[in-house]
Chain A
Amino acid sequence: MNQENPDGFFSEEEMDTLKRIALEELRELCDSLEQSVAALRANPGDQDAHRQALHIFHTIGGSAAMAGFKDISAIGISMEAALKKHDGAAVDHDLLEQIGGAFNRLDADIGAAENAAD
């Protein structure tokens, strides 16, 4: 588990709790992202779905970094940047594929972190 505990600030018990909360949250965000991806696939110009996906990636970037999941955080941050570039415009095919790929990687990485924590 790569949860960060610089200078042993948190006790082991506290670390376990924070780690569990972070993974639960990342899983919930991943589930919400799945819905946004489906909405964007159905209508690439759906600005609500676009904003929602952007916000989810932003939150994943921050929360995963806090919990020390650097790879997951990196996906969130890069996808947030990619979606920001298309802010206000319809999502093109390439970006849609990129989002789909990011979702799959997130799903797999979060699953791996969950297994490691069990």
Chain B
Amino acid sequence: MTPTARELLEKDPRLRIDVSRDHITAYLHVNNTVKSGDIDLGDIRGSLTAHRITYGIKDTEKLSVFLENMDLYDHTLIVASGKPFTVGDDARIEFLFEADARAALSDELTASLDSIDFRSVGRIASVKKGQVIARKIPATQGEEGITVYGQKLPGEWGMDITLQAGENVTVSQNGLDFMAAIDGAPIVSRGVLRVDPVTIIEGDVGHETGSISFAGTVAVRGSIQDGFTVQAAGDIIVDNTVQAATVEAGGDIVVRRGILTRGKTRIHAEGSVFARFIENSIVEAEGDIVVETAIMNSDTRCNGRVVALNGEGAVMGGQTLAFDCVLAKSIGSTANVKTYVQAGYRYDVQKQFLDAMAKLRSVQKQMAEVKKNYDFVSNTSGDFDKLGELRGQAMKLLKIQKQMQDDITEINNGRIFNQLASIDVENTLYPGATLLLGDARFTVSKETGFASIKWDTENRSLYMTTFDESGRGKHSRPGKRARTALVIDDSKSVRKTMALILEKMGLRVVAEAEDGAEGVAIFRETRPSLVTCDIAMVNMDGIEALRKIREISSRAKVIMVSSNRDKKKVLDCVMAGAEDYILKPFVPKKVMTVIRSVLEK
């Protein structure tokens, strides 16, 4: 309760009482001019009463000592102490069967990724129908506290934890006990507890067994041999190796030895994949991919984490993509083998995007060939019919190109970048490795020790933290050398809009030019990576500017921008060397698609 104005006026001016923000501590400050003996216990008590402080007041003896030795206390004393509230225990789950390491991994707060006991991963426990297999111990409330004003503060509750009941698991009415609905194997994966029926293959999956398809968990005591398929609605647990076989699991895939498909087949898990190693294989997981030793020359992609923090902990060669993060002891190798590691995109969407970009590139190549032929014919025979034919081909390709760009824009709209994505390397980052967060990339040129690569949202760039031998941290922005752009347009608003789009793409706009002549002059000086150029301008139009820019540099990348829908005009630009064209009014994301496809040609 706040003291009234009247009460405040009645307070002793020689004394000041301050109360901490949490109302747990009250400080008494005595004016420095006041000497011992000038004030007494009654004055202090009066002041505390005026401030309505009632709880935790120091006893008479302590107050007396203070009054006698105020100088020693610097005229300040904690005059009252409340009781802080406490935080209760966090909720936890007790598994009443021998849960394997995956149960711990599903709790992101407590999981220690570098101490996974791989021997326990994939161990199959057995439970009976009706058996309680897990119990939730609820969070508790902490002890209540009390302020110096005597107000009660409720204790804080511990953190809750959620365990979802999956298939063949029932939950008691109070929501605390989880029971098996069938005889089978209890499995905890990604925060869900389920009981799977189990089929056990005592040897290899091969000619003797044929391929396997099972509505539960499949345990293979041997290997899955070349050419065979194992499909399971639940987990697939393989004690030995997976060779060139197709393996698809509705849950996790655990391979105690290695996955060695020689790139011939695909391993896919709706849950996570755990393996001792992955070599020359294509592995996809909706959850995590966790290896004990190494990922070598493989295409591994997942929508969770890729983890290689145990043993050798190496990711070398091939491509690795994770939505959340890639954690490894080392990336690349001493042989500088090309290793691509990317984080931040869902792998399925990214694959769609890359496939579409590859198709677009193939059309761009055909277009470049047509342009080359066109230049050759115009500079030699000038055969009118042939030129017409080539223009026709170019027009068709342009149409296909625009359709593809629209498709890519559509895919890109669903390609959400996880700005919290990261790549962390515990020991060594080798030259030859290329790291990407989203589309921002850098290629490692010198060997680096501990490195953590994250995304800087404000600067829209990567930033890397490394530590030298003395343990001193250093921050850098690898790959920060931005590509440059020049915007030529006689409309200020179009220039500004285009410049903003380019900057959002991470390009540095070196200048904005109001007409072709100015644009050509600036191009000559700055040689930007990209030029966007309006067509209809006074004082040198866009086509003339394009020709002059191409004379200065035949490698100049110029994109024409115009509201002119005359197809002949557009084709003239393309045949004169424009890389592409954008029609006004433009949609920013489509502009990004065109620019990206030109820059990555």
Contact = CB atoms under 8 A, between A and B. Distances in A.
A18 B491 contact: no
Interface string A1-45: 000101101100010011001101100000000000000000000
A62 interface: yes
A59 B496 contact: no
Nearest to A28: B492
Contacts of A55: 536, 538
Interface stretch (B164-172, B198-206, B232-240, B584-592): B584-592
B49 interface: no
Given A25-B491, A58-B563, A66-B494, 15 more contacts: A9-B501, A9-B504, A18-B496, A18-B497, A21-B492, A51-B538, A55-B536, A55-B538, A62-B563, A63-B493, A65-B563, A65-B584, A66-B493, A66-B497, A66-B586
Interface in B561-601: 562-563, 584-589
Which of B490, B584, B585, B588 has the most CB atoms of chain A within a 10 A radius of its CB?
A: B585
Contacts of B538: 51, 55
Which of A9, A51, A55 has the most CB atoms of chain B within a 10 A radius of its CB?
A: A9
A65 B497 contact: no
B588 A62 contact: no
Contacts of B4: none
B413 interface: yes
A40 to B, nearest CB: 17
Contacts of A66: 491, 493-494, 497, 584-586
A25 B492 contact: yes
Contact of A14 (B413, B500, B585, B586): B500
Interface string A49-73: 0010001001101110111100001
Contacts of A21: 492-493, 496
A63 B536 CA distance: 13
A9 B588 contact: yes
A63 B494 contact: yes
Interface of A: 4, 6-7, 9-10, 14, 17-18, 21-22, 24-25, 51, 55, 58-59, 61-63, 65-68, 73, 77
Contacts of B563: 58, 61-62, 65, 77
The majority secondary structure among interface residues of chain A is helix
B540 to A, nearest CB: 13
Interface residues of B, number: 21
A21 B493 CA distance: 6
B494 A7 contact: no
Contacts of B497: 18, 66
A10 B588 contact: yes
B122 to A, nearest CB: 44
A56 B491 CA distance: 10
B413 A25 contact: no
B494 A62 contact: yes
Interface in B493-516: 493-494, 496-497, 500-501, 504
Given A25-B491, A59-B491, A63-B491, A6 B496 contact: no
A4 B563 CA distance: 16
Interface in B326-378: none
A66 B588 CA distance: 10
Nearest to A59: B491
Which of A7, A17, A59 has the most CB atoms of chain B within a 10 A radius of its CB?
A: A59
Contacts of B587: 6-7
A91 B531 CA distance: 37
B500 A10 contact: yes
B584 A62 contact: yes
A25 B586 CA distance: 18
A65 B496 contact: no
B471 to A, nearest CB: 40
A80 to B, nearest CB: 9
A67 B584 CA distance: 11
B589 A22 contact: no
Given A6-B588, A7-B589, A62 B496 contact: no
Contacts of A10: 500, 588
A18 B500 contact: yes
B223 to A, nearest CB: 49
Contacts of B585: 4, 62, 65-66, 68, 73
A51 B536 CA distance: 12
A17 B536 CA distance: 25
Contacts of A24: 492
B493 A18 contact: yes
B500 A59 contact: no
A14 B504 CA distance: 11
Contacts of A4: 585
Contacts of A67: 493
Nearest to B561: A62
B144 to A, nearest CB: 45
Contact of B589 (A6, A18, A61, A62): A6
Interface in B448-502: 490-494, 496-497, 500-501
A66 to B, nearest CB: 5
Contacts of B493: 18, 21-22, 25, 63, 66-67
A22 B492 CA distance: 7
